[in-house]
Amino acid sequence: MKCRSADRYFAAAHVLVTSAKPEQKFEEDVLPPFQSRFANSAVLESKTEPHLPNVAALAKIFPGVSKLRIPGKTPLEVVNSLHFHEIFRKLCQIEFGKGPPIRAGASFWYLTGEADRWPVIAEFSFDLEAPAPDDFPLKVLTGVNAWFRALQGFPGWFNLDATTKTRFAYEAQ
């Protein structure tokens, strides 16, 4: 479950509580040349796929959904009938200055059941945890920004018209 917005404070204000212990995270997706998209998300892992025919069923797992005032009978559907399998690979850690390490990785989305097994979209990412919200050392931020801009200089493998994985799913034909 994810609340995404170009406004970091709007996304942060939507804490997604669940009826069980979820994995929660606040993230910033940065698209070239340097456009931010923020998201507050919660992942609830289950051994079985939940049956979610409508908003009321979703609100039983994520009670915060009821604050959106969407009628409970509103049906839920898989976006564009697409089912993805995601593989994430940890790559390395990088330090800028004496700040906390940045963990770099790549995720790949595959269409479930596709015979050729080539990813339909890939995303390079890096995580940086702050000791407290908005407490990133300036040397680290300067280094990360320079690194991201340098990566954009490799057009052979860096798509300057990139989108997020979620937006890709919504725009897929």
Least confident of 8-17, 47-56, 62-71, 92-101: 8-17
* Residue 142 and residue 96 in contact, taking contact as beta carbons nearer than 8 Å: yes
Best CA proximity match to 14, nearest among 42, 37, 40, 38: 40
pLDDT at 134 over 70: no
CA distance 24 to 44: 9
Q: C-alpha angle with apex 37: 136 to 25, nearest 5 degrees? A: 60
| Tokens of residue 152, six digits | 């954009």
Provide the residue type at 5 as one letter: S
29-80 residue pLDDT tens: 787 778 888 888 887 777 888 899 999 999 888 887 888 889 999 999 888 8
- pTM attached to this predicted model: 0.72
Residue 116 has pLDDT above 70, yes or no: no
